A and B are shown apart, each in its own frame.
Chain A
Amino acid sequence: MAIETQPESAQAPGGREPAGTPKQRAWWLRPAFHTALLGAVIGYIFGHWLGNLLGSQYQQVGTSDDNDMAIVLGFAFLVLGWLIGLGVFNDLIRQMLGRPIPQLEEEREAVGGLARYFRYTLDHKVVGIQYLVGMLIYFFTGGLLAMAIRTELLSPSYHVLSPTAYIQVVGEHGTMMMMMMTSVIVGPFGNYLVPIMIGSKRVAFPRLEALSFWLTPCAYVILLSSFLLGGFPTGWTGYAPLSIQAGEGMDAYAFAFGLMGISIILAGFNIIVTIICYRAPGMRWGRLPMFVWSMLTTGFLFVLAAPVLVGGMYMIITDRVAQTAFFINQLGGSSYLYQDLFWFFGHPEVYILALPGFGIVSEIIPVFTRKPLFGYKIAAAGMFGVAILSFFVWQHHLFMSGINPDMRPLFMLTTELISIPTGFIYLVALGTFWQAKLRLTVPMLFAMGMYVNFLFGGISGVLLSDVPADTTAHGSFFVMAHFHYTIMGGLIFAFFGGLYYWLPKVMGITLNQRLGKIHFWTMFITFNSTFMPLFAVGMLGQPRRVFEYARNLETLNDWVSISAFCLGGSLLIFVFNFVMSTVVWRERAPQNPWQARGLEWQISSPPPPDNFTHIPVVLAGPYEYGDPDALPVADLNPPAGVIAGALAGAGAGSATTSTGSEA
């Protein structure tokens, strides 16, 4: 009895019983995608009008009929209208009026089929799929922009794109990738899989979770709208005072980035509380899958780092719109302030873009080595170590800036210290591979590719952390190659590994493995062929974000460009595979195609609406491969009344079941 009602009790506010379905409105007034679009358009027009009204007295942009206030208020009301149209505030209003709030089950009955994916929904699995499709769209948009950059860099002077267009494309590519991709794993995999992996029927804050997704299309559209407003010349870092000086496109950058910051704060709170409070009985910290650990640490980074970003972006907007002077030296501000704020967010952010990748590969390798994860505790400790240290290193981005020269040895030390917990992740991998029985499936290939790529990313990071070596490498293509190795080679490889690994569970459909292998090998080879020469290009003196470079670097740059086009082609193989497998071939996936022990593999594919018929009782860790004495990972149909006993057992620390860790 308690099993069924326990998770539900938190959902009915005030302990009220869920009442009948609210009165249905006419179809065109029901909150959905079209009402959201309508709300966004009306909101933008209203905000723009209001901004022109307010800001007409002190026009800031001499080159256009608009002023920044109109643009910013237009964006703000666009988001508001979009959310109203989606029905984000409906439940709040219902609650204020004392009306019944529709529950998840009623929502599922009311809307079926594909329409569910275009709504503001309480279903974490629907949000996961929304995120997955959204993130793929954002990723491929950013990728297309990268192709444009490499086309321009085929020649040492500018030919294809004008300097203005080039700098816009560079900024959009960087921002699209660094800003939208913060959620590339937390969004799809975190939201979808974490509740299932911890044995919960739901997430803690389904409305926050859905809101966090529905802010991303706004951020995406607003960021791209910058092209219509003349773009922004600052790259993804948006350094002031250049960002204060720039045209209206800058407003789109600052607003979209701030909006995405809010989105990841919401996502972070949901994921943290879900993991801490919604674990099934017996899912002790020592049995938590590594992927959930990585989501927990990433969630903490979200909620601790992103507010600083939102603050920084807000200051940029007020500097531009309301003539505050946070970042203008002549008026008493400081351009260092922005760099500090930005990198205080920015450096944790690059670990936001690394930890989920660590989590996915740590999740994949035990399954395909058929061995327990080597050093479970040290793997979790590594992630926490990276997450904590990431807040103490940001000034290594300012080694050349002239700020705090006496702090350089300290920041050099903290930066290099990060390689110790990162090394844990490698120790775990090496130990897990020891005398394994490797199954070279596509997810496993991507996981191994991730370890190899991240190795080069990490090693080059040591050079960047060292002030003397950084003096040459700073701001050059070396840095660019470095973070593409860690983010694209690490995070995106892990993302694809996770996609091939979990899509059978998520959609009940297996991606074609032969095409998957072709995708992996072409991507691995072309990725390295693209970014390895860029280390040399940077060390030979080519700064980042330039359209002109020395003629003697032309051969290397052409090699890189051609490799980059091949890399794009490799990703097209993935698109082909993804579309054909999910739409045309639709090969049914078995419940547990990888013979994995994870809790998510013990339920049907795709998971039932409620994830579990009963709240499972977790009996053992997820990585007990090869241990003949290991219990099954969970009892999915625990006898009534067993929950209380399991909770007592978990509290006392049962000695009979190994937690899969020794260290």
Chain B
Amino acid sequence: MAAEASSGASTPAAAGVSGGRRDGLWLLVTWIVLSIIGCLLVALVWGPHLPPGAASNTAASQQTDNTVLATIATPVVIGVLLYFGWALAFWRQKPGDETDAAPIHGNTRIQALWITVTSVIVLALAVYGTVELIAPAGAGAGQGPQPIFQRGMPPAASDTSWAPGTNNILQVQVIGQQWAWTYRYPQFGGFETTDLLLPVNTPVRFNVTSLDVIHSFWAYQLAVKADANPGVNNVAFTVPKQAGQFVVRCAELCGIWHGAMYNYGKVVPVSTFMTWAHATEIQLASLTKLLPPYALTYDPTAINLGKVNQQLGLTGAGGGFYNPADPEQP
């Protein structure tokens, strides 16, 4: 009985060794071939079409990043799916075979190899991600009031004037409130408008803040995303590379009309931008005087919009805001 059991177990085990080598070899070859094809397709064919496009330097770097990550993921996905498919195809129970398979409790070499390879990949990804974060000045992500990733960005030399080509970054303040985006251009007299125009090929510094709850400024085509926190200035950088329209959405749930909190911005040639900015500065000058002076954050309880509404001919609560301490909802 015991001898029978042991011989019964040793035969499939012996067959398993040679069969194992064959299986392993075929799996490896198939995996390598499929992975090479897959990686090439992902990196060269799919990669250039991956979101978020190349409308800004941050978008382009994120596209590269997405391509790299997708390429690295390809062999992993192919490997696991291939392995399970292989198991389904070849390692099924034969009809009537009620015996167990060969008892393999582990394999120290394979386990050590697995840990080493995954660790190397993961550490490499972390290093790569850090480089991609630092290289395009924070990758378009909001960096809080003191941005530390500013590589390649001119300093904010002047808060009151800006001219193209100078060593001074264009600043745009993004103000989120329930449920609209407005933009202030401090270097053009601090006028506030719902139109977001940016000059092409010019470094831009977004100062993102909120008047009530947390919003998130997401300029999709520019690949910029920065949370708008009340009382906090959140800085993000980008350099628009292509003229055209882009969409701005709120990416952080901010209440009932969160879904409708979007508008459109435009990247235009520098000359067009300058013309527009100067014209708007003059056109809105009377309103700008009534606004609170430009600041990085605002206390909404201290803003009196009554005069602005009068100037604009608005009555009632138009342009009002919801005090964070006041739970009333419309």
Contact partners of A467 in chain B: CB under 8 A: 129, 132-133, 139, 141
By CB atoms of chain A within 10 A, which of B23, B104, B143 has the most? B104
B280 to chain A, nearest CB (A): 27
Contact partners of B254 in chain A: CB under 8 A: 242
Contact partners of A320 in chain B: CB under 8 A: 327
Contact partners of B225 in chain A: CB under 8 A: 400, 471-472, 474-475
Task: Given the known inter-chain contacts A371-B100, A452-B84, A663-B111, please indicate yes or no for A463 contacting B66, CB distance below 8 A.
Answer: yes
B271 to chain A, nearest CB (A): 29
Report the Cα distance A377→B112, complex, angstroms. Answer: 13
Task: Given the known inter-chain contacts A163-B256, A241-B230, please indicate yes or no for A466 contacting B125, CB distance below 8 A.
Answer: yes
Q: Which one of B32-40, B90-98, B157-165, B190-198 contacts A?
A: B90-98
B111 contacts A451, C-beta separation under 8 Å: no
With an 8 A cutoff between CB atoms, is A431 at the interface?
yes
Q: Which one of A113-121, A244-252, A266-274, A599-607 contacts B?
A: A244-252
Query: For window 585-644 of chain A, which residues contact chain B by CB distance below 8 Å?
Result: 595, 624-628, 630
Contact partners of B115 in chain A: CB under 8 A: 420, 424
With an 8 A cutoff between CB atoms, is B272 at the interface?
no
With an 8 A cutoff between CB atoms, is A510 at the interface?
no
With an 8 A cutoff between CB atoms, is A98 at the interface?
no
B77 to chain A, nearest CB (A): 6
Task: Given the known inter-chain contacts A335-B214, A468-B61, A468-B132, please indicate yes or no for A235 contacting B111, CB distance below 8 A.
Answer: no
Q: Name the CB-closest residue of B to A163.
A: B256
A479 to chain B, nearest CB (A): 10
Task: Given the known inter-chain contacts A63-B329, A412-B129, A471-B225, please indicate yes or no for A628 contacting B301, CB distance below 8 A.
Answer: no
A541 contacts B147, C-beta separation under 8 Å: no
Contact partners of B329 in chain A: CB under 8 A: 63, 233, 245-247
Candidates B20, B88, B122, B142; contact of A402 at CB < 8 Å:
B142
Task: Given the known inter-chain contacts A233-B255, A239-B213, A330-B299, please indicate yes or no for A466 contacting B102, CB distance below 8 A.
Answer: no
Q: Name the CB-closest residue of B to A336.
A: B229
With an 8 A cutoff between CB atoms, is B251 at the interface?
yes
A412 contacts B126, C-beta separation under 8 Å: yes
Q: Name the CB-closest residue of A to B179.
A: A163
| Chain B 235-274 interface 0/1 with A at a Cβ cutoff of 8 Å (1 = within) | 1000000000001011111111111101000000000000
Contact partners of B275 in chain A: CB under 8 A: none
Task: Given the known inter-chain contacts A434-B20, A435-B23, A545-B259, please indicate yes or no for A626 contacting B122, CB distance below 8 A.
Answer: no
Report the Cα distance A186→B102, complex, angstroms. Answer: 32
A369 contacts B101, C-beta separation under 8 Å: yes
Contact partners of B310 in chain A: CB under 8 A: none
Report the Cα distance A472→B220, complex, angstroms. Answer: 7
A402 contacts B91, C-beta separation under 8 Å: no
B113 to chain A, nearest CB (A): 10
Q: Which one of B167-175, B181-189, B282-290, B318-326 contacts A?
A: B318-326
| Chain A 482-524 interface 0/1 with B at a Cβ cutoff of 8 Å (1 = within) | 0000000000000000000000000000000000000000000
A427 contacts B105, C-beta separation under 8 Å: no
With an 8 A cutoff between CB atoms, is B177 at the interface?
no
Contact partners of B231 in chain A: CB under 8 A: 329-330
Report the Cα distance A376→B80, complex, angstroms. Answer: 20
B234 contacts A409, C-beta separation under 8 Å: no
Where chain B touches its partner, the secondary structure class is mixed
Contact partners of B144 in chain A: CB under 8 A: 402-405
With an 8 A cutoff between CB atoms, is A32 at the interface?
no
Contact partners of B91 in chain A: CB under 8 A: 369, 433-438
A433 contacts B84, C-beta separation under 8 Å: yes
Contact partners of A630 in chain B: CB under 8 A: 103
Task: Given the known inter-chain contacts A245-B327, A436-B91, please indicate yes or no for A452 contacting B253, CB distance below 8 A.
Answer: no
Contact partners of A402 in chain B: CB under 8 A: 142-145, 208, 226-227, 229, 232-235
Query: For window 59-82 of chain B, which residues contact chain A by CB distance below 8 Å?
Result: 61-62, 65-66, 69, 73, 76-77, 80-81
B328 contacts A63, C-beta separation under 8 Å: yes
| Chain A 556-588 interface 0/1 with B at a Cβ cutoff of 8 Å (1 = within) | 000000000000000000000000000000000
B223 contacts A235, C-beta separation under 8 Å: no
B325 contacts A328, C-beta separation under 8 Å: yes
Task: Give the number of residues in B that approach A within 8 Å (Cβ atoms).
Answer: 113
B97 contacts A437, C-beta separation under 8 Å: yes
Report the Cα distance A545→B252, complex, angstroms. Answer: 9
- Kindly count the residue-residue contacts between A and B in the assembled complex, taking CB atoms under 8 Å apart: 349
Contact partners of A189 in chain B: CB under 8 A: none
With an 8 A cutoff between CB atoms, is B130 at the interface?
yes
Candidates B136, B149, B235, B324; contact of A245 at CB < 8 Å:
B324
B62 contacts A471, C-beta separation under 8 Å: yes
By CB atoms of chain A within 10 A, which of B91, B146, B252 has the most? B252
Contact partners of A263 in chain B: CB under 8 A: none
By CB atoms of chain A within 10 A, which of B2, B52, B126 has the most? B126
Report the Cα distance A114→B235, complex, angstroms. Answer: 61
B253 to chain A, nearest CB (A): 5
B60 to chain A, nearest CB (A): 11
A401 contacts B227, C-beta separation under 8 Å: yes
With an 8 A cutoff between CB atoms, is A14 at the interface?
no
B94 to chain A, nearest CB (A): 7
B328 contacts A62, C-beta separation under 8 Å: yes
With an 8 A cutoff between CB atoms, is A658 at the interface?
yes
B8 to chain A, nearest CB (A): 8
Contact partners of B315 in chain A: CB under 8 A: none
Report the Cα distance A595→B108, complex, angstroms. Answer: 29
Report the Cα distance A335→B292, complex, angstroms. Answer: 24
With an 8 A cutoff between CB atoms, is A60 at the interface?
yes
B122 contacts A433, C-beta separation under 8 Å: no
B259 contacts A241, C-beta separation under 8 Å: no
B122 contacts A233, C-beta separation under 8 Å: no
Candidates A330, A420, A466, A628; contact of B118 at CB < 8 Å:
A420
Report the Cα distance A373→B51, complex, angstroms. Answer: 41
> Top 4 nearest A-B pairs by Cβ distance?
A626-B100, A402-B234, A546-B259, A329-B231
Binding site for B on A (CB under 8 A): 60-63, 158, 163-164, 166-167, 233-235, 237, 239, 241-242, 244-247, 320, 323, 325, 328-331, 335-336, 369-378, 399-406, 408-409, 412-413, 416-417, 419-420, 423-424, 426-427, 430-431, 433-440, 448, 451-452, 455-456, 459, 462-463, 465-472, 474-476, 539-541, 543-550, 595, 624-628, 630, 658, 660-663
What are 26 A-B pairs with beta-carbon distances under 8 A? A62-B326, A62-B328, A237-B253, A241-B213, A328-B325, A330-B325, A335-B214, A336-B232, A369-B91, A399-B141, A402-B233, A402-B234, A405-B144, A405-B146, A430-B80, A431-B107, A434-B20, A434-B104, A451-B84, A466-B69, A469-B66, A471-B139, A541-B51, A541-B220, A626-B9, A660-B105
